[in-house]
Amino acid sequence: MTDQQTSSAKPASRGGRLRWYEKDARPAATQQVPLTQALAGVAKAWTKLFSALSATPGEMAFKTVATIKLDDLMAARQPHAILATLHSFAWNATLGVEVERTFLATVMEALFGGAGEDEPFVGDGPLSPVEASIADVVGRQVADSMTAGFADLLPTTFVYEGLYPKPDMKPLGGDDSVVMRATFSLATLGRSVDVHVLLPRPAIEAITAKLADAPEPSGPADPGWTTQLEAELSQATVTLQAMVDLQPLTLGAIAALQAGQTLALPPDAGSRIKLLCENGELFRCELGQSDGFFTVRVEAASTETSSRKAH
């Protein structure tokens, strides 16, 4: 068994209830699904905040939401892209705001009354003090807009933490972590530029727990939307870890450990393997061998997983 597996299982509706990724097929579909409705509300609130500051009319619109691994996101990231972070204490999550320099340049031009006649100038060095200030404004507007947009679905206050100075995305999790990426578009000055809000696993769990109890939709689900989101979820690759607990050691014994030293496993270690995903325990397993490789056989769901399902 390799340490990375791609699950092809499709999330099932609970008791026929609406799954979080399903979309109503009526004409006003975007307004019928709680998650997309909340994200559309974020865009609406953001438009008001932007218009209050800008000398040029502009409108934010919610475009898409998809899942993506952080290492894939880093590989496709534009040079000198900026990451700002928000925090939700109710969700126990740090969220990211991915801003490209083109977006910043467009916002700057709109705020200062530009005409949009030329392509925005995008620098290739560190942020200037003005750019950093504008990025802070964007981050604070995202925090306030998220608070307003999710007020009905899952009330929480988002706090803007600041610009993340490093070229990685460690605040959102490890490279194999999966995030939900909501894309918004700003239309102003005759052009359209995108900005992305990144929701890590704790935020996704908070949202899906809430939407698991969403009422049955009054209209049929759009099969195209459902298929697309199911495909994105099933193709997301996550890292699994098989772990065994060793015998307790004193701090002194741990401090004395040296390279090459052998530690004995407990007698029943082979039957007490834990299967973990992003530090969360999924199953209890048994160690084995097959075709010259070590294997783990899933025996039962962990008590942690069973407790989550019960709630």
Where do you find CATH 2.30.330.10 in the chain?
A: 244-310
**Nearest-angstrom CA–CA distance, 274 and 241:** 8
| For residue 8, pLDDT beyond 50 | no
Q: CA 37, 186, 134: angle at the middle one, nearest 5?
A: 115
| For residue 266, pLDDT beyond 60 | yes
* Amino acid letter, 179: V
Q: What is the pLDDT of residues 17-60, one digit of tens each?
A: 434 333 333 323 333 367 888 899 999 999 999 988 887 888 99
The torsion angles phi and psi of 289, rounded to 5 degrees, stand at -140, 150
- Distance (Å) of CA 143 to CA 137, 148, 294: 10, 9, 47
Residues 6+ apart with CB under 8 A from 43: 60, 61, 62, 145, 149, 184
Q: With pLDDT > 70 as the criterion, what percentage of the chain qualifies?
A: 74
Q: What is the pLDDT of residues 185-196, one digit of tens each?
A: 999 888 899 999
Nearest residue to 134 (alpha-carbon basis) of 172, 159, 86, 99: 99
pLDDT given for residue 185 in this prediction = 94
pLDDT given for residue 296 in this prediction = 87
Tally of residues, the chain: 311
Cα-to-chain-centroid distance, residue 243: 26
Q: With pLDDT > 90 as the criterion, what percentage of the chain qualifies?
A: 21
Q: Which CATH number fits domain 4-235: 3.40.50.10490, 3.40.1550.10, 3.90.380.10, 3.30.1490.20?
A: 3.40.1550.10
Nearest residue to 157 (alpha-carbon basis) of 149, 165, 166: 149
Average pLDDT over residues 79-102: 89
pLDDT given for residue 252 in this prediction = 80
**Nearest-angstrom CA–CA distance, 206 and 180:** 12
Q: What is the pLDDT of residues 70-89, one digit of tens each?
A: 888 888 877 778 899 999 99
Where do you find CATH 3.40.1550.10 in the chain?
A: 4-235
Average pLDDT over residues 151-179: 87
Strand (E) or helix (H) holding 274:
strand 273-277
145 vs 310: which has the higher pLDDT: 145
159 vs 169: which has the higher pLDDT: 159
pLDDT given for residue 9 in this prediction = 38
Average pLDDT over residues 259-280: 81
**Nearest-angstrom CA–CA distance, 199 and 187:** 23
Residues 6+ apart with CB under 8 A from 42: 62, 145, 146, 148, 149, 150, 182, 184, 197
- Distance (Å) of CA 190 to CA 105, 185, 186: 14, 13, 10
| For residue 182, pLDDT beyond 90 | yes
Strand (E) or helix (H) holding 86:
strand 82-88
Q: Which fold has domain 244-310?
A: Surface presentation of antigens (SPOA) (2.30.330)
pLDDT band of residue 289 (cuts 50, 70, 90) is: confident
**Nearest-angstrom CA–CA distance, 105 and 65:** 24
Q: What is the pLDDT of residues 126-161, one digit of tens each?
A: 788 888 898 999 999 999 999 999 998 888 999 999
| For residue 7, pLDDT beyond 80 | no
Contact 245, 266 (CB under 8 A): yes
181 vs 17: which has the higher pLDDT: 181
Average pLDDT over residues 288-297: 85
**Average confidence score pLDDT of the chain:** 77
Average pLDDT over residues 213-221: 56
